[in-house]
A and B are shown apart, each in its own frame.
Chain A
Amino acid sequence: MIKGALKSMSIQAFLITVWRKRSAFRAGLIITAAILLAGIAGSLLPLIYGWDIGFRVVGESFQSPSLRHVFGTDDLGRDMFTRVLMGASRALVQTTIVIILSLSIGLFLGAVAAYYRGFVERALSYVTELFLAIPSILLALVFIILFGRGALTVSLALVVSWWSWYGRFAYLQARAIRDLDFIVLAKHYGLPGTYIILRHVLPNIMSPVFIQALTDAGSVVIELATINFLVGVGTTSIEEPDWGLMLGYGVRYMFNYWWIPFLPGLFIVLMALGFALIGDSIYEEMHPQLKRRWKLWF
């Protein structure tokens, strides 16, 4: 259904039409571009000003936003703007890691489950359902407690359960195509299963799963932020320039210094929203029943 929509036009032409037709797509793209810019700036800052730029105490704690400190300063007197920019690059990297790893695991296991059938199919479906049932945020918290709360650990901890989401989707897609001629024939020729999966199954389930991943990239941002928020509220001090941590940690200052929790949160919202707007408009435009003209005709 989703694949068919793309057949008649190239990807560029498609994206141009979506851009022309949907203001949500334009808004989402602009927001995401802004976040990307912030992320690039955030990762360049340390190269210019030294690695401690985000942690540098300017000696003026709890300064409200001003021209000098656009986003104010936090409890230790660190410039919030610098930290928020660095948080953008961190958030982008973490989100990318989570999506790429979960997608690869999910796609592969889904394809394997659908292709091999029998015991493999049942076992993998069970494992997928099991990890779908376990709340990813709490599982990630357990892993953070066990292995520490580094940037990589948080992403990997989320991957542990997040893959199941794509896994089930990939499995359903692969199950729909596994009886088609080109796969049955390849099996007849005696080609090895791994070859058929890599060469024939995966390429054909990839695009719908990618679109699914695009539409819920926003929720990955929120999941990561929630994990870090829950970690942040309990800690006595934070080093890492992470939006979720800054927001969670800043909750204790919310009544007196609103900008400390509020501004990092705003960026979480923007990033999640940007992804969601892009994903949603592409989904609608690829959906034959949603893209065509509609009026209440009865």
Chain B
Amino acid sequence: MVLEASIKSIDLSIGYEYDYEVLWVVNSINIFVWRNTTYCIIGESGCGKSTLGNAIAGLLPTYAYTNGYLEVEERVVVRGDETNYNGVRGRIVTRIPQDPSSALNPYVTIGEQLVKVIKHHYGAGGNPLGKARELLKLVKLPLEVIDYYPHELSGGMKQRAAIALALAPTPKVIVADEPTSSLDAYLRGVVAGLLKRVQRELNLTLVFITHDIALASTICDYIAVMYAGTIVEEGAACKVLRNPLHPYTQLLLKAIPKLGSREILSTIPGSPPSPTSYPEGCRFRPRCPVGFNECYKAPKLIEFEPQHKVSCWRYAQ
């Protein structure tokens, strides 16, 4: 397996127009995702993880502003405030939506939607209907779903259909934006497992965005923990999960319930700050149990050990 960069960003910031100002929700992010790996972005809601995912998938709304540099599969998609996703969307990167019931075209059957996408990318000659059937088989959907409208499917089936659609253009990168948040607890694991299997079988790069660190730990190779628009810890999954460095990651891991354990689950005091009022310095400082004076200055993401970076003054030399 050749290790190459699939996604690379340098000082990427993304903001939205809000009451005639730009509100920066993602700040100076540097990520590096290897090809054919699963990269998880973990964080509470509102920390900017979906925005980052949308930037990779080319789905930032038109009132978004960008700064910095982002590269997907050796194509520069963001440079400064200019974005260019021509030929990237679909062919190279697709997205699995958070809420499939609003993301599937309600006026057209699942089969037609699949065929439309396949026809566009491979022409009408290549037996699009057959390919659509294969895709449905791949995501373990019964074949009669082809004639169903989205509103006739259950939540889990809709999500599978959305996954099939995202696979239809045979992309190299798939961004799964909280694909399990609208599902039951049982289905979450199933869908995550399905994604992992598809990633391995089709040699994809999977960017998996979730707030559920337990779920992420089951499928990912690399983890990035986001807090208030910045990455606070990043690295190989085994290293981050076994040896969490940032206090936020540590607290997140403590908050996972363990079967059979009688330990009282800990919670993180306070609530995540809104982009209108990010604290000065380290953004986790107001909620941090181990903060000290240095934390009034903004920390940088530094390499603690190979394949393990953290943004916390406690590890600064």
Q: Which residues of A contact B (CB under 8 A)?
A: 8-9, 17, 21, 292-295, 297-298
Bound CA–CA A292/B63 (angstroms):
6
Query: Is B277 positioned at the interface, with any CB of A under 8 Å from its CB?
Result: no
Q: Least Cβ distance of A88 to chain B in Å?
A: 36
Q: Which residues of B contact A (CB under 8 A)?
A: 17, 19-20, 61-63, 83, 85, 89
Bound CA–CA A9/B63 (angstroms):
20
| Chain A residues with CB under 8 A of B83 | 297
| Chain B residues with CB under 8 A of A8 | 19
Check A294 against B20 for contact (C-beta < 8 Å).
no
Check A292 against B62 for contact (C-beta < 8 Å).
yes
Residue contacts A-B, CB under 8 angstroms, 13 given? A8-B19, A17-B20, A21-B20, A292-B17, A292-B61, A292-B62, A293-B17, A293-B63, A294-B62, A294-B63, A295-B62, A297-B62, A298-B85
Bound CA–CA A131/B109 (angstroms):
40
From A17, A21, A293, give the contact of B62 (CB < 8 A). A293
Bound CA–CA A8/B276 (angstroms):
12
**How many inter-chain residue pairs (CB < 8 Å) link A and B?**
18
| Chain A residues with CB under 8 A of B85 | 298
Bound CA–CA A294/B89 (angstroms):
19
Bound CA–CA A242/B62 (angstroms):
48
Bound CA–CA A295/B63 (angstroms):
9
Q: Least Cβ distance of B167 to chain A in Å?
A: 20
Q: Least Cβ distance of A13 to chain B in Å?
A: 9
Interface residues of B: mostly helix, strand, loop or mixed? loop
Check A298 against B89 for contact (C-beta < 8 Å).
yes
Bound CA–CA A292/B10 (angstroms):
27
| Chain A residues with CB under 8 A of B17 | 292-293
**Residue of chain B at shortest CB distance from A14:** B19
The 10 closest A-B pairs by CB, nearest first: A292-B63, A293-B63, A294-B62, A297-B62, A295-B62, A292-B17, A293-B17, A8-B19, A293-B62, A17-B20
Check A9 against B62 for contact (C-beta < 8 Å).
no
Q: Least Cβ distance of B63 to chain A in Å?
A: 4
| Chain A residues with CB under 8 A of B20 | 17, 21
Bound CA–CA A297/B20 (angstroms):
21
**Residue of chain B at shortest CB distance from A288:** B63
| Chain B residues with CB under 8 A of A293 | 17, 62-63
Bound CA–CA A298/B61 (angstroms):
11
Interface residues of A: mostly helix, strand, loop or mixed? loop
Check A9 against B89 for contact (C-beta < 8 Å).
no
Bound CA–CA A17/B85 (angstroms):
33
Q: Least Cβ distance of A146 to chain B in Å?
A: 49
**Residue of chain A at shortest CB distance from B61:** A292
**Residue of chain A at shortest CB distance from B59:** A297
**Residue of chain A at shortest CB distance from B60:** A297
Q: Least Cβ distance of B112 to chain A in Å?
A: 20
**Residue of chain B at shortest CB distance from A20:** B20
Bound CA–CA A17/B21 (angstroms):
12
**Residue of chain B at shortest CB distance from A296:** B62
Bound CA–CA A9/B18 (angstroms):
12
**Residue of chain B at shortest CB distance from A294:** B62
- Apart from A292-B62, A293-B63, 12 more pairs, CB < 8 Å: A8-B19, A9-B19, A17-B20, A292-B17, A292-B61, A292-B63, A293-B17, A293-B62, A295-B62, A297-B83, A298-B85, A298-B89
Bound CA–CA A295/B64 (angstroms):
11
Q: Least Cβ distance of A288 to chain B in Å?
A: 9
| Chain A residues with CB under 8 A of B61 | 292
**Residue of chain B at shortest CB distance from A8:** B19
Q: Least Cβ distance of B86 to chain A in Å?
A: 9
Bound CA–CA A293/B83 (angstroms):
15
**Residue of chain A at shortest CB distance from B62:** A294
| Chain A residues with CB under 8 A of B89 | 298
Q: Least Cβ distance of B25 to chain A in Å?
A: 15
| Chain B residues with CB under 8 A of A298 | 85, 89
Q: Least Cβ distance of A289 to chain B in Å?
A: 10
**Residue of chain A at shortest CB distance from B276:** A8
| Chain B residues with CB under 8 A of A21 | 20
**Residue of chain B at shortest CB distance from A21:** B20
Bound CA–CA A255/B247 (angstroms):
87
**Residue of chain A at shortest CB distance from B64:** A293
Bound CA–CA A119/B189 (angstroms):
50
Q: Least Cβ distance of A20 to chain B in Å?
A: 9
**Residue of chain A at shortest CB distance from B20:** A17
**Residue of chain A at shortest CB distance from B86:** A298
**Residue of chain A at shortest CB distance from B83:** A297
Q: Least Cβ distance of B102 to chain A in Å?
A: 15
Q: Least Cβ distance of A118 to chain B in Å?
A: 30
Bound CA–CA A21/B17 (angstroms):
14
Q: Least Cβ distance of A222 to chain B in Å?
A: 34
| Chain B residues with CB under 8 A of A297 | 62, 83
Bound CA–CA A144/B142 (angstroms):
68
Q: Least Cβ distance of A25 to chain B in Å?
A: 15
Q: Least Cβ distance of A19 to chain B in Å?
A: 13
| Chain A residues with CB under 8 A of B62 | 292-295, 297
